[in-house]
Each structure stands twice: as C-alpha cells, then as structure tokens.
Chain A
Amino acid sequence: MKITIVNTPSSKSNDKWCPWLIEIPAEIGDSQKK
C-alpha cells in the first residue's frame, strides 16, 4: 500500500480574498499553495 504524498498538511494560505466576485490581488506576489 504505497502512499505517495503530493502535499502535506499545513496552515492554508488562502491568499485569494474573493474567488467568486472580485479578485483582490493584495498578495499577488505570494505563491499559491497547493
């Protein structure tokens, strides 16, 4: 049962303020967490 880890748990950055309505790019330079 080999489990391959793609991404480990961590605190989410959630740097997108407003996904549906208005994208506010205040943290535009931050890398998007995956």
Chain B
Amino acid sequence: MQPSIFNVRVPLRDQSDVFLMNTLTDAQIIAPPEVVSLLDSLAARTRAGVGDAFDPEEREALATLTELGFVVDSHDDDRQALDAYFDTIRHDSSQLRLTVLTTLQCNFACGYCFQGDHDDHNRHAHKMSLETAAQVVAHAARQMDAVRPERLSITFFGGEPLLNLPVVYYLAEHFHAEATARGVRLSLSIITNGLLLTPEVVDRLLPFGLTGAKVTLDGDKAAHDRKRPLRGGQGTFDKIVANVRAVAGKVAISIGGNFDADNADSYPALLDFLAEQEFGPKLAKVNFKPVMGGAAPATPPSTARPSGINGIIPLTAVAADGAPLGGTCMTVAGAGGTKAASACDTCHFVDETMGFLREETKKRGFPTVDGVHMGPCEIHRKHAQTIGPDGALYACPGFTGEATFATGHIAAAQTPLQAKAADRFDRIGAWRNCGDCSFIPVCAGGCSVASHTELGDLDTPACHRPSLESALVSLAADAAASLAQAPEDRHP
C-alpha cells in the first residue's frame, strides 16, 4: 500500500488543512495534516508489516483515500493505470475531431508570425479548392462510418479561415448533411482573427451547427493594433470588437490573446475594457498565452513580475534553423529552452505571466482555464485529424506543411513515408521521459510541436511544471473558498 505518484498537495493559507489532488483520477480533497502524515508514513508502515496496526480511524481514512485513488497497492499499479488512461484517450471514439485549414492565407501581418515577415506569403499560401472540400466531406463521411462517433467536431482554422468563405459554407452545409444522415451530432467552431466574423457569416453557419468562435485580442487597443495590424498597417481592434459585439448573443465567443514582454502589461486594461462591455458576461472563455521569440526583455513588464533574465520562448512556427514551418497560424509557442528536457530554465517569464494573467482574468469574473487540467491534447487521440488546404492529413495543426510529418491524404493511398509518420504519432509519448512527475496525466509531456521545433525530438518533454504548480495553488484556493461558501453541500 502506497501513496499514488500522481498525488499533489497544497497547504491552505491561514489554516492547517491541506488540499490534495490526484491528477490521474481528478479526485480533490481537503484534509487535516494527520491524513498527510498517514499518506507519508504509509509505504514505510506497509513495508514494516505493521499495516494491521492501523487504528479504525486510519482504516476509515485509508478506505476513502483508496477509493479516490490517493492510495494504490503499488507504483506498478499507478503505471498500469496511466497506460490504460492514455490508451483510453487514444482510442476514444465518442468524437471524431477534424481541424480543417481552409486557407493558409491571412489578411493580418502580426509581427510575431512568420507570415507577417513575408510580403509574398499570400501569393504562395495554399487555399482549399471546392473540389478538395468535396473530398474532405467524403473523407469525413468515411471516417464517421468507420469510427461511429456520437459527435463530429469540426474546427475551421488557417491562416485566416474566413478568407475562404465559399469553402467554409460548402463544408458546413455538407458536414451537416452527412452527420445528420448518420444521427451524429455536429459542432462547428472557428478560430479567426475576427475581422470577417460578421453577423451575416454567423447567421449563415448557425443552422449547420456553429457553436463557437475564438477571436484574438493582443492586449488593449494600442497594444493590439501594434501587434495585429492589417497588411496595410491599419489597426484592427475596433472592427474586431464591433464584430464581437454584434455576434456575441448569437454564438459563444472565446477571447484569446498572445502575450510577450512588449504587451503583457496591457492585458489588465483589455480585461477592464471587456468587463465594461455589454457582451462581457456573454464571453464563453478568456485565456491568454505566450508568443514569440527573440531576446529576453531588458526591462520586464512590471505587472507581470517575471523573474530575472529568462526570456520568451521562441516562436514555434519557425524551425531551429530559422526556416518557417508549414504555414498554420501559430499564435502561441510551447516550450522554452533549446537543449535539453529542462526547458523551464528559460520559461519563467512565460509561466509567471500566464499565472498572473489567469488570476487577473478570474478576478474580473471571466471564465478561463484553471491551468491544471491542460491535456492530453488532440495529438494523443487517434480520431483527431488536421486536414491541410491540399487535403494532406496531420496529427495536429502544428505540423501542417511539413511533408515528412503528413500522416496521409484524404483522397490518396498512404505513402510509405506517411505510414511511417502515422506510426510515429501512434507511439508518441514524451511523458514516458517524465519520470515520476505527478503532473503527467494533466500534461502528457507538453506540446509535441514545441518538443519537435525547440528541442528537436518529439519525445523530449516540453516542461512547464512551474506553471502547473502555480495553477494548482490557485485551484486549491478556489476549492477552499467554494467550500467556505457551501460547506454542507460538500461533505461526503
């Protein structure tokens, strides 16, 4: 009998109790120090053969802890349960998830995106044809027949997906017809810069299952207009906000944002602005993430309280040799560091600023991520695919355009190279190199695109443990606060 390796704990402020979570089962409890002592002494007492000496109170506590997954027979059991968990994730057939890149063209010139550095990008960027769109629909139909999912989740992405509206409309209508014919629920969502997200577009897509759109605002108006201008240099903040205002009552809007040392200070002002808007309470989620490369800031932003010289993680859209990757809109980066698994050595700014902005977001009452439940992502799911504008299949949008990482094509037989890539992604598992880290079930070794581009190896963990730890502290505080508000509702 041992404590699970997936137990994490946070002493609660101003009280002796401790918040305990098991990241594999997701069980969360608040317990007195005696329970922690019991867990800490468990292995030694079991080894010494004095397990029978547990008193009735201890036995009762152990029964509860075992039921919740905090106590296991052995760490082999932990490992087997983890393998089973990832196996369940990989083969989950309840949803077929397709991310469709309708075009790699973009009307923005974001400074942190490699597309913005290439004036002729749009002349060469792929755009999906209606013929390819028809093949995408046929592919989705075949997949639904094979997988038999309860739900088909479609995400339109790019580039800027709404620059190819004929294909977006065609796909929405035909996905809806094919899903309906099979009794499959369909949900459509769009990741867009928001400039073309008009009520007309939303109204056209709503009957076919549009559920949400994610729009990016890179700080307050001044910061955003500096970061995300049109290709002609004009600001975009006012137009995007006007669109959000017009559609927020029709469809769930998620606000994202990409921060770096240059604009991190401006996010509290953006949050204040959003909180003042009539559509503020309608926002489904607000969540900001790091972006870009380059040197560390000489003067870190005061409000973000970054630690020391460590800088911003490099842009993952650009490979280690500086060459741009395929062309997906890469709004955020993953790991820091360039050498080894200890990527967090250069991630302090990112991790601390993520935590700071998450708390600022929560403070204003917006729904946001808790920062602990972070994975596993779609790359760990067999029935999740990204489809490029040319019909090539990928395990995730981050590998779009890298021919050696294509896993197939929607309308052609799999080549040996694609079969090799598919097999590679079938066996993916940076988390196997994470030792006994307690956060493996909610992290899975981090972003594989970051592992590939930054660390040169898909199976090298892109570690952001400090971010997970700070989020856990926040989660514990929230749990304690919610119990304080309604204590009698939570006792077993």
Which residues of A pack against B, CB within 8 Å?
Answer: 1-12, 14, 16-29, 32-34
Could you pull out 17 A-B pairs where Cβ atoms are within 8 angstroms? A3-B64, A3-B65, A4-B29, A6-B483, A8-B27, A8-B68, A9-B27, A14-B376, A16-B377, A20-B374, A21-B397, A22-B331, A23-B256, A24-B155, A24-B378, A25-B214, A27-B187
Q: Give chain B interface residues in 329-358, CB to chain A under 8 Å.
A: 329-335
In the complex, chain A residues whose CB is within 8 Å of the CB of B490: 4-6
Residue contact A1 to B34, C-beta cutoff 8 Å: yes
New A-B contacts (6) at CB < 8 Å, excluding given A2-B491, A24-B155:
A7-B26, A9-B69, A16-B373, A25-B285, A26-B189, A33-B373
Residue contact A12 to B26, C-beta cutoff 8 Å: yes
User: Whole-angstrom distance between the alpha carbons of A32 and B367 in the complex?
Assistant: 9
In the complex, chain B residues whose CB is within 8 Å of the CB of A10: 26
In the complex, chain A residues whose CB is within 8 Å of the CB of B289: 20, 23
Given that A3-B35, A5-B490, A22-B398 are known contacts, is A17 also in contact with B377, CB under 8 Å in the complex? Answer: yes
Which residues of B pack against A, CB within 8 Å?
Answer: 19, 22, 25-32, 34-35, 38, 57-58, 60-61, 64-65, 68-69, 88-89, 97, 99, 153-155, 157, 187, 189, 191, 211-214, 252, 254, 256, 284-285, 287, 289, 316, 328-335, 367, 369-370, 373-378, 384, 396-398, 441, 446-447, 449-450, 462, 464, 475, 479, 482-483, 490-492
Minimum C-beta distance from B385 to chain A (A): 12
In the complex, chain B residues whose CB is within 8 Å of the CB of A6: 19, 28-30, 479, 482-483, 490
User: Whole-angstrom distance between the alpha carbons of A27 and B152 in the complex?
Assistant: 11
In the complex, chain B residues whose CB is within 8 Å of the CB of A7: 26-28, 479
Q: Is the interface of A mostly helix, strand, loop or mixed?
A: loop
Residue contact B69 to A3, C-beta cutoff 8 Å: no
Residue contact B32 to A2, C-beta cutoff 8 Å: yes
Closest chain B residue, CB of each to CB of A13: B373
User: Whole-angstrom distance between the alpha carbons of A3 and B39 in the complex?
Assistant: 13
Residue contact B187 to A3, C-beta cutoff 8 Å: no
In the complex, chain A residues whose CB is within 8 Å of the CB of B287: 23
Q: Is the interface of B mostly helix, strand, loop or mixed?
A: mixed
In the complex, chain B residues whose CB is within 8 Å of the CB of A9: 22, 25-27, 68-69
Residue contact A21 to B332, C-beta cutoff 8 Å: yes
User: Whole-angstrom distance between the alpha carbons of A22 and B450 in the complex?
Assistant: 12
In the complex, chain A residues whose CB is within 8 Å of the CB of B31: 1-4
Residue among A11, A17, A25 facing the most chain B CB atoms (10 A cut-off): A25
In the complex, chain B residues whose CB is within 8 Å of the CB of A26: 97, 153-155, 187, 189, 211-212
In the complex, chain B residues whose CB is within 8 Å of the CB of A2: 31-32, 491
User: Whole-angstrom distance between the alpha carbons of A8 and B68 in the complex?
Assistant: 7
Minimum C-beta distance from A9 to chain B (A): 4
User: Whole-angstrom distance between the alpha carbons of A16 and B396 in the complex?
Assistant: 13
Given that A9-B27, A20-B289, A22-B330 are known contacts, is A4 also in contact with B491, CB under 8 Å in the complex? Answer: yes
Closest chain A residue, CB of each to CB of B350: A20
In the complex, chain B residues whose CB is within 8 Å of the CB of A24: 99, 155, 157, 189, 191, 214, 378, 397
Minimum C-beta distance from B391 to chain A (A): 20
Q: A18: which of B35, B88, B396, B479 is its contact (CB, 8 Å)?
A: B396
Q: Closest 3 CB pairs between A and B?
A: A28-B212, A9-B25, A19-B374
Closest chain B residue, CB of each to CB of A18: B377
Residue contact A27 to B330, C-beta cutoff 8 Å: no
In the complex, chain A residues whose CB is within 8 Å of the CB of B367: 32
User: Whole-angstrom distance between the alpha carbons of A28 and B252 in the complex?
Assistant: 7
